[in-house]
C-alpha cells in the first residue's frame, strides 16, 4: 500500500513540480552570459558617444520592423544553414553547433538586433586595436569576439564580482599582467593595455590546456576549475566536461560561438552597423605634466565628455604626468594642438584643479593588523579578495594552513594610508621655500641623505649661485658656482641671522660640481627626479649606468645626482 502511494501519488507530483524547476535552472545557466551582456550594454547606453548618436541609432533599426516576423528571423533558419555558416568561418578550433548555440543566436538576432547594430558600429573602432595586438602575441584574431559577451564593448563595464573593463579582468589577474590599479588609474579600462594583458593571458591558458575551447572556459572561471572538471569527468574537451564546469561557464563557449556567427552574418539577417561619430582616427601622447580633463577641454575647446570617453582608465579626470608614465588619447586632428599648448593647458586655472606644492599633504603607508573571523564556506581566495591581499601572503601570515577553519580568527596585514604633517623649520613659512623674497633671494632646503648636511641654493639679483654646506652649528662654507665674484655680506639669508663668511679668492674661483645621493620614493620617475634637482634626465641615466631609453627605477634605489 505504501509503495503504491509513492508510485501513484509522489512520483507524479515530483515530475509535475520538480522537473520544471530543473528545466528553469538549466535555462538560467544558459542565460547567464545573456544577463551579463544586458547589464553591460545598459551601462554602455549612458556613454557620451551613444547619447550623441541616439537619434541615428534609432533610425538604423526599428523594433517595430525587427527580425522576429520576417523571413530573415533566426527562428526561421534551419539548423543545417547555421552549421554550414559556422564551418565556413576561419577559426583556430571547431565552432560546434547545437541547441545551446542556436538559442543564443536567436537571442542576438531576433530579440536585440538594435543592440547588435550598435556593437557592429563600435567594432569598427575597437577591433583593429585587438587584431593588431593579437597578431603581435600570436593569438587567433577571432578571439576578439570575446568582448561581445564579456563587456558588450563597454570599457567601463564592471561585473557583480568586480571584474572590470573590456576584457573583464579581476584584480589579481590584472596585477599578474602588470596592469596598474591605484587611486589615479585603472588600466583594466584602457583598451590598449588591457588588450595586451588579455592576449598574454589567453596565450598562457592555451599553453596549459592545448585547446582553445578549454582556454576560453578557463578565461571565464579560472584554470583551477577547468582542471577540476577534467579530473572529475576523465575527459579533456569542453563539451565532454560541460556538466562538471561552474554554471556561469557552461553558457560561455556557446555564447562565444553565437557572437562569432552574429558578428559575421548580420547582413543575412537584415542588420546594419550603426553609424557612430566616434573619432576612429586617434593617437596617444605622453603627458609630462599634471593635467585635468577640464583644462584640456577649456584650452582646446573640446567636450569634456569626449576626452573622458576616449580615456576611461583615469579616475577623477586627472592625469598626474609628473608621477608616472601616463598617456592621453585624443582625436588625431587635435594631437598637434595638445603638444604645442601642453604648458598652457597645465597652467590654466591650475589652483582650481591642483593644490599648490606646499599645501599638499604627505602620506605614508603602514601595515595594520586585522583579525578576521572565518565564516561558513569562506576560502583563502575569498578572504584575500575581500581585503585586497594575495593568497600567498595570507597563508604565510597564518602559518601556511591549507584551509581556513570556520569560527577561527585569521590574521591579515593591510596597508593603510596615514597622513603625515609636513616638517616646517622654526621661524619659516611655506612661502619662504617656494617664493622669491624681497631681496630676490630664493632659499630651498632639501635633505641630501641621513647626515646633518643641508644644501642651500641662493639666487640673488646678480644671478650668482652659492652652495652652502653646513659643517657645524655656527660656521658655513660657501663655494661659488660661476665666475662672478661675490663680496662679503652682499646678500643675507632670512632663514637665520648668522653671517656668511666668503672664502678668499684663489686661482680656481669655480668649484667642481658636487655629487649627492637621492633615495627613490614611491611614485618617482627619472623625469620627476631630474625636474626636482634641475638636471638633465640623460645625465642621471649616464651617471648611474642605467640601461635603456626609459630605464625602470625601484623604490629605495639610490641614485647619484650631480
CATH architecture of 25-269: Orthogonal Bundle (1.10)
Is the pLDDT assigned to residue 433 strictly greater than 90? Answer: no
In angstroms, what is the C-alpha Rg of the chain? 32
pLDDT at position 507 = 42
User: DSSP state, 403?
Assistant: S
Residues noted as catalytic:
150
Q: What is the pLDDT of residues 473-504, one digit of tens each?
A: 443 443 434 433 333 444 443 444 444 444 44
**pLDDT tens readout for residues 202-213:** 999 999 999 999
Q: What percent of the chain has pLDDT over 90?
A: 38
Q: CA-based angle 496:497:503, to the nearest 5?
A: 100
Domain map of the chain by residue range? 25-269, 282-354, 362-420, 422-513, 516-561
Q: Average pLDDT, stretch 16-40?
A: 56
Extract the C-alpha cell encoding 545.
649606468
Nearest to 157 by CA among 186, 133, 184: 186
What pLDDT was estimated at residue 495?
42
CATH number of the domain at 362-420, please?
A: 3.10.350.10
Q: What is the DSSP letter of 367?
A: E
Neighbours of 344 (CB within 10 A): 11
Answer yes or no: is pLDDT of 72 > 50: yes
Pair 556, 520: CB distance under 8 Å: yes
pLDDT in tens, 98-119: 999 999 999 999 888 888 988 9
Residue 58: enclosing H or E segment and its boundaries?
helix 54-60
Please state whether 138 falls in left (phi above 0), alpha (psi between -120 and 50) or beta: left
CATH of the domain spanning 516-561? 3.10.350.10
Q: Does 25-269 match 362-420 in CATH topology?
A: no
Q: What pLDDT, in 10s, does the model give residues 128-154?
A: 999 999 999 999 999 999 999 999 999
Please report the pLDDT score of residue 24 as a whole number. 35
Amino acid at each position: 500500500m505504501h509503495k503504491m502511494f509513492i508510485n501513484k501519488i509522489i512520483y507524479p507530483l515530483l515530475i509535475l513540480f520538480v522537473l520544471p524547476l530543473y528545466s528553469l535552472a538549466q535555462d538560467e545557466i544558459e542565460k547567464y552570459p545573456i544577463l551579463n551582456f544586458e547589464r553591460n550594454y545598459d551601462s554602455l547606453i549612458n556613454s557620451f558617444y551613444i547619447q550623441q548618436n541616439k537619434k541615428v541609432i534609432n533610425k538604423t533599426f526599428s523594433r517595430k520592423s525587427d527580425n522576429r516576423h520576417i523571413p530573415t528571423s533566426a527562428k526561421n533558419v534551419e539548423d543545417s544553414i547555421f552549421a554550414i555558416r559556422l564551418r565556413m568561418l576561419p577559426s583556430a578550433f571547431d565552432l560546434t553547433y547545437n541547441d545551446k548555440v542556436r538559442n543564443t543566436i536567436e537571442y542576438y538576432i531576433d530579440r536585440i538586433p538594435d543592440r547588435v547594430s550598435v556593437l557592429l558600429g563600435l567594432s569598427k573602432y575597437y577591433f583593429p586595436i585587438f587584431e593588431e595586438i593579437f597578431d603581435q602575441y600570436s593569438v587567433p584574431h577571432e578571439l576578439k569576439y570575446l568582448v561581445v559577451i564579456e563587456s558588450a564593448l563597454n570599457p567601463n563595464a564592471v561585473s557583480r564580482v568586480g571584474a572590470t573593463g573590456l576584457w573583464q579582468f579581476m584584480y589579481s589577474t590584472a596585477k599578474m599582467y602588470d596592469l596598474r590599479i591605484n587611486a589615479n588609474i585603472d588600466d583594466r579600462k584602457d583598451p590598449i593595455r588591457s588588450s595586451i594583458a588579455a592576449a598574454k593571458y589567453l596565450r598562457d591558458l592555451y599553453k596549459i590546456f592545448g585547446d582553445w575551447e578549454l582556454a576560453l572556459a578557463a578565461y571565464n572561471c579560472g584554470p583551477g576549475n577547468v582542471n577540476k572538471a577534467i579530473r572529475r569527468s576523465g575527459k579533456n574537451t569542453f563539451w565532454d566536461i560541460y556538466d562538471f564546469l561552474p554554471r556561469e561557464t557552461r553558457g560561455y563557449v556557446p555564447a562565444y560561438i553565437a557572437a562569432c556567427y552574429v558578428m559575421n552574418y548580420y547582413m543575412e539577417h537584415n542588420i546594419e552597423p550603426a553609424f557612430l561619430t566616434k573619432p576612429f582616427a586617434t593617437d596617444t601622447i605622453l603627458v609630462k605634466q599634471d593635467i585635468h580633463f577640464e583644462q584640456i577641454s577649456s584650452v582646446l575647446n573640446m567636450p569634456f565628455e569626449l576626452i573622458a570617453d576616449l580615456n576611461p582608465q583615469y579616475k577623477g579626470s586627472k592625469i598626474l604626468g609628473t608621477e608616472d608614465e601616463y598617456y592621453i588619447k585624443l582625436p588625431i586632428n587635435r594631437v598637434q594642438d595638445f603638444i604645442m599648448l601642453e604648458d598652457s593647458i597645465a597652467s590654466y586655472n591650475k589652483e582650481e584643479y591642483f593644490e599648490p606644492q606646499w599645501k599638499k599633504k604627505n602620506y605614508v603607508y603602514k601595515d595594520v593588523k586585522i583579525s578576521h573571523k572565518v565564516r561558513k564556506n569562506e576560502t583563502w581566495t575569498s578572504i584575500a579578495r575581500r581585503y585586497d591581499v594575495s593568497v600567498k601572503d595570507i597563508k604565510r601570515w597564518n602559518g601556511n594552513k591549507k584551509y581556513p577553519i570556520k569560527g577561527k580568527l585569521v590574521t591579515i596585514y593591510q596597508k593603510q594610508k596615514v597622513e603625515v604633517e609636513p616638517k616646517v623649520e622654526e621661524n619659516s613659512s611655506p612661502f619662504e621655500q617656494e617664493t622669491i623674497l624681497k631681496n630676490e633671494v630664493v632659499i630651498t632646503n632639501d635633505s641630501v641623505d641621513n647626515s646633518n648636511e643641508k644644501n642651500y641654493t641662493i639666487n640673488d639679483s646678480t644671478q650668482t649661485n652659492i652652495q652652502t654646506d653646513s659643517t657645524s652649528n655656527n660656521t658655513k662654507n660657501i663655494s661659488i658656482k660661476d665666475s662672478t665674484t661675490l663680496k662679503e655680506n652682499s646678500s643675507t639669508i632670512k632663514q637665520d641671522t648668522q653671517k656668511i663668511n666668503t672664502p678668499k679668492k684663489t686661482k680656481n674661483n669655480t668649484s667642481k660640481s658636487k655629487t649627492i645621493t637621492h633615495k627613490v620614493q614611491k611614485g618617482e620617475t627619472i623625469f620627476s627626479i631630474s625636474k626636482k634637482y634641475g638636471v638633465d634626465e640623460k645625465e642621471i641615466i649616464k651617471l648611474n649606468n642605467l640601461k635603456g631609453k626609459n630605464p625602470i627605477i625601484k623604490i629605495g634605489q639610490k641614485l647619484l645626482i650631480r
